[in-house]
Structure 1
């Protein structure tokens, strides 16, 4: 197997993800974010999510970079590159997705939850958040359970 980059470059790529994110932000008009245009996450989602345009743009840009990073990982696998190098890149993507999730959660807490409290439907909003967090957060594995082995 051939390595197209030294491991030090790969780890530096992972640590530079934030710098890349900041450098590639661009600005152009976006439509307001409105969840009523598509299927809601749960049957109880009735309110409109209107978010700060700049924040939405940053999140979409970061997701686009993650999408490109994943395509790069796929290409590494197709070229049969060194497994540890692929795992390092997967870890970088996980970290980037975690940072995006934190941005979304922070915005949800500071905008959507606050708005729901002002409108008097905080319980419904908190239930939706709990349901989403149950899916988002890793579940505990039973003790002694091993990774899935190929059959």
Structure 2
């Protein structure tokens, strides 16, 4: 059985990526499950809008999805710091990895 899977298999790393993101099979499964729940939640919000549900009710659900996405981002960041940054430090390319992380965080943090 494969112990590790490449992250985001639908979008494999491009040649200019600093490394392949590796997550355990269990970690990947949990992340995908969390995203699937969020996807369902978003479909529910779409239905609420189509049914002209009260705006405060819709906004509460939007806030819940935003919180869920923030938790997904936190999981990805935690794994990146504990796995990828640590590996980069051991391989001697920590500066590259930190710059890539800074670039990603610049886009993420508004």
TM-score (norm 1): 0.65
Output aligned runs, 1:1-151, within 5 Å: 32-34=5-7, 38=12, 40=14, 44-138=16-110
Runs of 4+ aligned structure 1 residues displaced above 2 Å come to: 34-40
Q: Secondary structure at the match of 1:51?
A: strand
**More strand, by proportion:** 2
The count of corresponding residues between Structure 1 and Structure 2 is 108
Are the equivalent residues in 2 in contact too, given 1:49–1:112 (CA < 8 A)? Answer: yes
**More helix, by proportion:** 2
Q: How far apart, CA to CA, are the structure 1 residues paired with 2:7 and 2:70?
A: 23
Tell me which structure has the larger Cα radius of gyration: 1
**Cα offset, 1:30, TM superposition:** 9.1
Higher relative contact order (CA 8 A, sep 6+): 1
Q: How far apart, CA to CA, are the structure 1 residues paired with 2:76 and 2:7?
A: 15
Q: Secondary structure at the match of 1:80?
A: coil
Q: How far apart, CA to CA, are the structure 2 residues paired with 1:35 and 1:57?
A: 11
TM-score (norm 2): 0.88
- Where does the alignment leave 5 or more consecutive residues of structure 2 unmatched? none
**Cα offset, 1:47, TM superposition:** 1.5
